Amino acid sequence: MKISIIGVGLIGGSIALKLKKKGIVDFIYGIDNNNEHLSEALNLKIIDAKVNLEYGIKNSDLVILAIPVDAARKLLPDVLDLISENQTVMDAGSTKSGIVNAVKNHPKRSRFVAFHPMWGTENSGPASAVSESFSGKAGVICNKEQSDKDALNLVEKIVESLDMHLIYMNAEDHDVHTAYISHISHITSYALANTVLEKEREEETIFQLASSGFSSTVRLAKSHPEMWVPIFKQNKENVLDVLNEHIFQLKKFKAALEKENFEYLEELILNANKIRGILDKK
């Protein structure tokens, strides 16, 4: 099988490495606006050839979009225009309603499968790609009833080859859940970094004292705006809902401290501790 990967960054690159390792693809065309990334991906043997969009699409059984969600939503209709009825297109974006709505009336909608691998890091670019990135993580396919059965089966095979566990979900539900489980973590992390940068003027002290706890909480604050602004934009309503709740929850801690109500503070912490039971099921 020959595939094209549009966007040879962290996600596209990691998918490429894994599919090659599994021997499920014979040849990978790389397509990217960033020519440096393309050359890097070629050097790293992530892709087998740098090509333009038309050439790559024409010669591939499967086209994978792994670019920021706003760019993917814009590009997908053009990609569908270019494919034939026996080719398949999938994406890997973190929001799903936008892209699904963008092609809902496209005559070749059924050749598209909406996909989101629940994995990422604060790094970007092909040099950050790792073949085992997705192993054991959730791979979500949205609105599967809108895809042709053979297209769906192909993408299912890809997700299994990534060693992910498959979940099916409605695009709207997906965007609500990811607002809670992924998007809000990023906002919290960004805001925490800004808090520390604003108030702790002594950079040297941050550097010297930063513990593993701090590092893990602000790790996501290193994530690039090129990826995250479009996600927040497309999932604005859900993210705002969760952000409002999060501010409300922080105000409970503030009130407990201000009123020196340490029983209430303990209650809030004990409630938060319940997350252990849920996460440790893993």
DSSP letters along 163-218, please?
Answer: TPEEEEE-HHHHHHHHIIIIIHHHHHHHHHHHHHHHH---HHHHHHH--HHHHHHH
Minimum distance, C-beta of residue 203 to a second copy, in the bound complex (Å): 5
# of chain residues touching a second copy (CB under 8 A): 94
Residues 126-145 that bind a second copy (CB under 8 A): 137-138, 140
Q: How would you classify the pairing of strands 112-117 and 138-142?
A: antiparallel
Of 36, 77, 70, 86, residue with least CA distance to 53: 77
Q: Between vectors from CA 158 to CA 156 and to CA 164, what angle results, nearest 5°?
A: 80
Q: Is 63 left (phi over 0), alpha (psi -120 to 50) or beta?
A: beta
Q: Does 121 bind a second copy (CB under 8 A)?
A: yes
Is residue 30 within 8 Å of residue 51, measured between CB atoms?
A: yes
Please say which residue, 91 or 175, places its beta carbon nearer to a second copy.
Answer: 175
Residues 88 and 150: their CA atoms lie apart, in Å, by 9
Q: Does 85 bind a second copy (CB under 8 A)?
A: no
The 14-53 site mask, x for binding a second copy (CB under 8 A), equals: ----------------------------------------
Minimum distance, C-beta of residue 277 to a second copy, in the bound complex (Å): 9
- Tell me which stretch binds a second copy (CB under 8 A): 30-38, 44-52, 144-152, 251-259: 251-259
Q: Does 212 bind a second copy (CB under 8 A)?
A: yes
Q: Does 228 bind a second copy (CB under 8 A)?
A: yes
Residue type, 219: R
Q: Does 58 bind a second copy (CB under 8 A)?
A: no
- Tell me which stretch binds a second copy (CB under 8 A): 18-26, 37-45, 154-162, 240-248: 240-248
- Give the tokens for residue 256: 């407990």
Please say which residue, 34 or 121, places its beta carbon nearer to a second copy.
Answer: 121
Number of Cβ atoms within 10 Å of the Cβ of 35: 9
- Tell me which stretch binds a second copy (CB under 8 A): 48-56, 76-84, 149-157, 256-264: 256-264
- Across-strand partners of 166? 139
Please say which residue, 24 or 127, places its beta carbon nearer to a second copy.
Answer: 127
Q: Does 251 bind a second copy (CB under 8 A)?
A: yes
Number of Cβ atoms within 10 Å of the Cβ of 211: 8
The 174-203 site mask, x for binding a second copy (CB under 8 A), equals: ---xx-xxx-xxxxxxxxxxxxxxxxx-xx
> Which member of 35, 107, 149, 213 binds a second copy (CB under 8 A)?
213
Q: What sign does the dihedral 27-51-112-180 (CA atoms) show?
A: positive
Minimum distance, C-beta of residue 207 to a second copy, in the bound complex (Å): 5
